[in-house]
Amino acid sequence: MLIGLISDTHIPDRARIIPQNVLDAFKDVDLIIHAGDLTTQSVIDELEEIAPVMAIQGNMDRVAGLDLPKARTIEVEGIKIGVVHGEVYPRGDTQQLLYLAKQLDVNILISGHSHQPKIEQIEDVLLLNPGSPIVPRLADRTVMLLEVNDKNVDVEIIKIGAPVCSALDFTQYPED
């Protein structure tokens, strides 16, 4: 099974639409997992045109009033996968993410929140963060592809754009 991983899209507050490069990267996936901070239902609707979407609530989704679960788990070909937004501080702290994975009793934990892509094996848990295709933090714009095939796992970070500095996004300023 091929799964597209995405997080921290922040639409429409930080971008108007999902970048076409994301849609292209996900064209062959069987499932899309969004690790929170969608900020609008339209993100799910657009991604569902490609494949079924499993999404969880991020901190900004609560602010936007999106009623999504805070955590979800699925089993894919004998591999237990958990999804949380990853609201741990400091952001991306692997020890706290490992504890969340243990609480969910999963082999793979997908999280977001840090806006930085990460693939890290800690003990018996694979920690994945697809980064952000819209507003990365000190990183490229990214999503991930996760392939699970007969208990074999392969993960690929897909760069969908260059790093961006929001201070240089002149579309946020009205024209006179």
pLDDT at 138: 87
Report residue 61 as tokens.
């989704």
Average confidence score pLDDT of the chain: 93
Q: Is the dihedral angle over the CA atoms 55, 59, 65, 69 positive or is it negative?
A: positive
pLDDT at 166: 55
pLDDT at 14: 85
User: How does pLDDT run across 155-175, given as a tens digit for each residue?
Assistant: 999 999 877 665 555 555 666
Report which of residues 20 and 13 the model is more confident about.
Answer: 20
Whether the per-residue pLDDT at 108 is higher than 70: the answer is yes
Sheet containing strand 53-55, strands side by side: 53-55, 31-34, 2-6, 141-149, 152-161
Whether the per-residue pLDDT at 98 is higher than 90: the answer is yes
Buried b (16+ CB within 10 A) or exposed e, 70-97: ebbbeebeebbbbbbbbbbeeebeeeeb
Distances in Å between the Cα of 128 and the Cα atoms of 17, 35, 42, 67, 96 are 24, 10, 24, 24, 13
**Those residues with Cβ within 8 angstroms of residue 147's Cβ, 6 or more apart along the chain or in another chain:** 1, 2, 3, 153, 154, 155, 156
Report residue 81 as tokens.
């996968």
**Beta strand pairing call for 117-122 and 125-130:** antiparallel
Amino acid letter, residue 152: N
pLDDT at 165: 63
pLDDT at 10: 94
SS3 46: helix
- The percent of residues above 90 in pLDDT, for the chain, comes to 86
SS3 84: strand
pLDDT at 170: 57
User: How crowded is residue 124: how many other Cβ atoms within 10 Å of its Cβ?
Assistant: 9
